[in-house]
Structure 1
Amino acid sequence: MKILVAGGTGFIGTNLCAELAERGHEVTALSRSPADDLPAGVDSAMGDVGAYDSIVETVADHDAVVNLVSLSPLYQPPRGKTHDAVHLGGTENLVRAAEAGDVDRFLQMSGLGADPNATTAFLRAKGKAEEVVRDSSLEWTIVRPSVVFGEGAEFTNFTKTVTTPRVTALPGGGETRFQPIWVGDLVPLLATVLEDDAHVGETYEVAGPQVLSLADVTELVYEAEGKDVTIVPVPMAVSKLGLAAVGPVPFVPFGPDQARSLEVDNTVSDNDVTAFGRDPAELLTLGEQLGLDPSSADERPVQTT
């Protein structure tokens, strides 16, 4: 199968391209800039999903398209970009190009809580993009993962950006809950979606084996570095006021939308990894990926699903 991965040079994209190539597919990573360090057997194509004319010919030459293009929900969008423009507009262009090019399969990466009426701009745009995919003539599948971790992932770097070792303040005491999934567990599911017709027309919510609060994640990240940390709660209302005040400042990476995102848990009620024959309890935990011994008495207690 000839597969185009839009956003194929990013963290998830690079791992997915490698998985697909290992399974014998012809894989092309689409990005706005040329890539020099792609996995073996993966080709590169230049194009911007925000500009239809730059992608239409490339898309038409493939059997399947994967849309991984995304702005981070953890930071304010870069100057000149919006969630609607990238997530909704980019999806509209990819779907239009795929329909025009007689592409069969379309895999859309969305996010937990995606809804046109969601409380954050990120989730609203993701929700509207899902509607575009569902209304298309393509054989589509939508996957909504919780936050994804692994080597080079944004999630743990974000945690260290907003915290400090020894003593750190967290909005609401860091009670926002996540269910992180390891990229090495996620990408085989994505590859299987493209290979198995049984997944056409389905929307899957996938997550890891543990529910962790932001405070739990902070403690695990610093424990892996041999450091202690004490969490100082900051009332959510105070955090929202502070982020609202700095929101318009270009060099501050957080704003009101990020504050609102901390009021929404990023977890699943039913983990759809079971649709792929996986037992959630067998997936890699964040602590294990950070090199912590699961049997160690020092590992932080976590809630399991």
Structure 2
Amino acid sequence: MTGTVLILGASGFIGSHLAQAFARAGWTVRAGARNPVEARRRMPSMDWVKADFADLTDAAGWMPLLAGVDAVINCVGVLQDGAGERNAVAHVAGPRALISACEGAGTRRLIHLSAVGADESAGTAYGRSKAEAERLVEASSLSWVILRPSLVVARASYGGTSMLRGLAAFPGVIPVLGGEQHFRPLAMADLCDVTLALAGRSEGTRLKLDVGGPDLVTQADLLVGLRGWLGLKPASVLRIPAWIAWPAVKLGDLLGWLGWPSPFRTTSVRQMSYGAAGTSPEAVTQATGIVPRGFAEVLGAEPSTTADRWQARLYFVRPMAIVVLGVFWLVTGLVTLGPGFEAARQHLVTAGFGDNAAWHGAWWGGWFDVVMGLALWVRPWTRPVAVGMVLATVGYLIGATLWAPQLWLDPLGPWVKVLPMMVLCLFVAATDDRR
């Protein structure tokens, strides 16, 4: 059976794959996202609609989105509270309004994507709010399915899966916090097949399933397997004590509030320690007839490409580049405004500026560098600021060449040295995409 399906979170990691799978299976897909304009550029074939749980706080707001919809699949989720993200909104308030609207609209089926470890006892806001969402679904009058996947593996990667690839590709060693946490790696295609099978049932269903592969894999073995899949030379696993990693975890928490959501945060560490494996897949096979593939088979089905290796190797290089580039501009500006002010002013005077113009040039030039360095670290501005840095530097070099061309031959290379910085700006701008 097919029909019209509303997929919420359709621009996300799991949601985007489900949207494509349902479209291929003959369903009419209505794809919901917080930013449908951006999502439409990546997947133009979908019927994109704006669906933000922060705005849709009552059943009435959902009704236009549910018109003519036979099934709803909720893939919306956040790891931890941060800038623009709240567990209570994504996992409780939004689903509560959605469920009420589905009951009022007569929607045939609701499939709710939860997660293994979505339990009160996990000790995280993520676990508590996810568990509350499951209770809301179970208490509804709908024909519902709750799917609790373990670690989902696909050619694409985002968030935690990208971090795992970055750790697997680390030079020389494979760093891991603990390493004995267990997963049941699940192929994205198998998760899509399971969801399709359950959505297409004509009879009523009230079913809750852990969805994972047949292999129980430790985090250390998972990273070793990913390193092999990337085609990199084998490396030893370096187990990091918790007391060493905890400052980095807290830094990840802070960055989340500043608009840089990191998968390496308190919630992810605690959830993995609690358990992210779930039960073996016999119940999934019994309910759907689908036999999830093992970890080695999943990796072997799609060999890695150059793009995969680039992404993995650059995972930790990119944040370092953003930090160093911002510090470079910030320190340059502060030095110009402080101990180097007179030298900067004198350079401008030597180049032909009057005293007043040279003073203002040094002053405002220093502040420009400070502002650009700080602005680079504001998440929505990173790409345009990096491009602006390149353009500003090109203008600077043109002016410098006209006023003091001899400095191109200076042994200290004051003009030549900015060229690598421009390339670093282009690298930051070119790798700014999150999805």
Q: Does TM-score exceed 0.5, indicating one fold? A: yes
In the alignment, what sits opposite 1:243?
A: 249
Give the corresponding residue for 1:182.
187
Whether 1:273 and 2:275 are equivalent positions in the alignment is no
Aligned to 1:63: 70
Structure 2, unmatched stretches of 5+, are 305-435
Summarize the Cα distance change of 1:285–1:70 in structure 2 as closer, same or farther, 3 Å threshold.
farther
Identify which of 36, 51, 72 aligns with 2:41.
36
SS at match of 1:106: strand
- 1:142 and 1:268, CA in 2 relative to 1: closer, same or farther beyond 3 A? same
Q: Tell me the TM-score normalized by structure 1.
A: 0.84
Find 1:207's aligned residue among 206, 212, 219. Answer: 212
CA distance in 1, matches of 2:151, 2:189: 13
Task: Please say which of residues 195-204 and 282-291 is displaced more in the overlay.
Answer: 282-291
Question: Among 213, 222, 233, which residue is 1:217 paired with?
Answer: 222
Of the three residues 242, 252, 272, the one matched with 1:262 is 272
1:38 and 1:80 map into 2 onto residues whose CA distance is 24
The question of whether the paired residues in 2 share the 8 Å contact of 1:5 and 1:28 is answered with yes
Contact 2:190 2:292 in 1 (8 A): no
Partner of 2:147: 143
Shift of 1:220: 2.1
Distance 2:294 2:251 in 1: 44
The structure-2 alpha-carbon separation of the partners of 1:226 and 1:199, relative to structure 1 and needing over 3 Å to count, comes to farther
Query: Structure 1's 39 and 261: CA in aligned 2 closer, same or farther, altered over 3 A?
Result: same
C-alpha distance in 1 between matches for 2:189 and 2:293: 15
Indicate the larger mover: 228-237 or 98-107.
228-237
The residue number in structure 1 matching 2:323 is: none
Corresponding residue of 1:9: 11
- Counterpart for residue 296 of structure 1: none
Alignment gaps of 5+ in structure 1: 293-305
Aligned CA distance change for structure 1 residues 6 and 158 (closer, same or farther; 3 Å): same
**Distance apart, 1:32 and its partner CA:** 1.6
CA shift digits 1:58-91 (9 cap, x unpaired): 12331211101112x4xx5441322222111221
| 2:163 maps to 1:166 | no
- Which amino acid in 2 is paired with 1:79? A
Native 8 Å contact 1:182 1:284 kept in 2: no
Normalised by the size of structure 2, how large is the TM-score? 0.60
2: CA distance, partners of 1:180 / 1:130: 22
Confirm or deny that 1:152 pairs with 2:156: yes
Indicate how the Cα distance of structure 1 residues 133 and 280 shifts in structure 2: closer, same or farther if over 3 A, else same: same
Out of 52, 58, 70, the position equivalent to 1:48 is 52
In the alignment, is the contact (CA less than 8 A) between 2:10 and 2:75 conserved in 1?
yes
SS in 2 for 1:100: helix
For 1:279, the aligned partner's letter is V
| 3-state SS in 1 of match to 2:254 | coil
Contact 2:122 2:274 survives alignment (8 Å): no
Give the fraction of aligned pairs with identical amino acids, expressed as a percent: 26
Higher helix residue share: 2
Kindly report the root-mean-square deviation, in angstroms, between the aligned alpha carbons of the 2 structures.
2.5
- Partners of 1:290 and 1:25 in 2: CA distance: 26
Q: 1:79 is matched with which residue: 77, 80, 83?
A: 83
CA deviation profile, 1:125-171 (whole Å, cap 9, x unmatched): 11110011111121111111111111212343121345623124321
- Ranked by relative contact order (alpha carbons within 8 Å, sequence separation 6 or more), the top structure is 1
Q: In the aligned structure 2, how far is the partner of 1:57 from the partner of 1:48?
A: 13
Greater shift in the superposed pair: 150-159 or 202-211: 150-159
Structure 1 residues 191-202: aligned runs within 5 Å: 191-197=196-202, 200-202=205-207
Paired position in structure 2 for 1:295: none
Paired with 2:134 and 2:55, the residues of 1 have a C-alpha distance of: 19
Q: Per residue, is there more strand in 1 or in 2?
A: 1
Distance across 1 between alignment mates of 2:291 and 2:165? 30
Question: 174-183 vs 97-106, which deviates more?
Answer: 97-106
**Mapped partners of 1:9, 1:242: distance in 2:** 29
Q: In the comparison of the two structures, how many residue pairs are matched? A: 287
User: Using the alignment, how far apart are the partners of 2:87 and 2:140 within structure 1?
Assistant: 21
Cα–Cα, structure 1 residues 94 and 252, in superposed 2: closer, same or farther, change >3 Å?
closer
